[in-house]
Amino acid sequence: MNKIKFEYIWLDGYSPEQNLRSKTKILEMDSYDGDVSKLPIWAFDGSSTKQAEGHFSDLLIYPKRVYPDPARIDAYLVICEVYNPDGTPHVSNTRHKLEEDPDLWVGFEQEYVIMKDGLPLGFPENGFPAPQGPYYCAVGTGNVAGREFVEEHLDICLDAELNLSGINAEVMLGQWEYQVFAKGALKAADDLILSRYLLYRLSEEYDYIIDLHPKPVKGDWNGSGMHTNFSTKAMREIGGEKMMTEICEAFGKRHKEHMAVYGAYNEQRLTGKHETQSIDTFSYGVSDRGASIRIPASTGKTWKGHLEDRRPASNANPYLILAEIQKTLKTASF
């Protein structure tokens, strides 16, 4: 019998931003084939994660998806949902709100800032670096900071069988982005959550802090978002300007509902400046990075393909984002 490590990962009860928690379970098996149904339900102390009171603190974690763990031998990473002892979903369990939809294809653009000693990596101890402009997709000393860390995170994610489709340096020095693509709503959200987990875990080795605040540096600096690209089968195969317009109009009618779950402190980022629309305004347009919904030039040319929701903040919960997108798509008249 082999001793195999399973890292159970879940979202805690902190507000307005949930944190990732995890603990390791050792199971004796001859071998493991990745079947999540073979993993047992486990428990944890909810009073230590703001999910229960001390006098009745046991909560359950149900395994939902398994990935190989590239950092350990004979090990796996397990995305879990939190349940009450009576088997009902815990109030902090946002994953269960998202319907599985294999026809919904999703691409997340996760921006983040690498922090060291209280400053974005590459910032001088006093003052600021040169104004933003030379940092986006840049190369060279002084133009980028943290590439070794970013490259290692990319490799770890690929080894964990996450479908990262790219990385790039972003507009502010010390700010980076990676893209996660998946066919299926739950798969996309799970992959994004695990990519964040691996980002945080790797930061321990470098003594970095990963900052997902949507406005990590005040002033004339870009904030951090998590642009969410999505398409349905009808958008990809049928399309048409009328369909795309009706979808955008449907999103506008539910703008407040979307903004309620699109990340904490997002009003500091969505100001109408720095490639954003104001948080109180909804707009859409072809190739318009100042709009709430951008219709990519490729989609606007053929009127088939995907749309980009530019409103989600970098710290937003992917399960809630996609659940809201699903609700809005159901209201569109196409």
Same domain, 122 and 35: no
Phi, psi of 262, rounded to the nearest 5 degrees: -95, 20
Domain final residue pick, 93, 125, 149: 93
Tens-binned pLDDT, residue by residue, of the chain (334 aa): 899 999 999 999 999 999 999 999 999 999 999 999 999 999 999 999 999 997 889 999 999 999 999 999 999 999 999 999 999 999 999 999 999 999 999 999 999 999 999 999 999 998 899 999 999 999 999 999 999 999 999 999 999 999 999 999 999 999 999 999 999 999 999 999 999 999 999 999 999 999 999 999 999 999 999 999 999 999 999 999 999 999 999 999 999 999 999 999 999 999 999 999 999 999 999 999 999 999 999 999 999 999 999 999 999 999 999 999 999 999 986 6
Domain final residue pick, 50, 67, 93: 93
Q: State the residue range of the domain holding 157.
A: 105-331
Question: Shortest CA distance to 317 belongs to which of 276, 256, 262, 258?
Answer: 262
Other C-beta atoms within 10 Å of 2: how many?
Answer: 10
pLDDT at 332: 87
Same domain, 189 and 297: yes
Within-domain flag for 100: no
pLDDT at 211: 98
Domain final residue pick, 93, 128, 155: 93
Q: What is the CATH number of the domain that holds 63?
A: 3.10.20.70
Within-domain flag for 147: yes
Within-domain flag for 124: yes
pTM: 0.96
pLDDT at 334: 63
pLDDT at 54: 74
Which residues sit opposite 231 in a β-bridge?
Answer: 105
Same domain, 242 and 265: yes
Same domain, 171 and 227: yes
Same domain, 236 and 109: yes
Q: How many domains does the chain have?
A: 2
Within-domain flag for 285: yes
Within-domain flag for 98: no
Q: What is the CATH number of the domain that holds 309?
A: 3.30.590.10
Strand order across the 42-45 sheet:
20-29, 2-11, 75-83, 58-68, 42-45
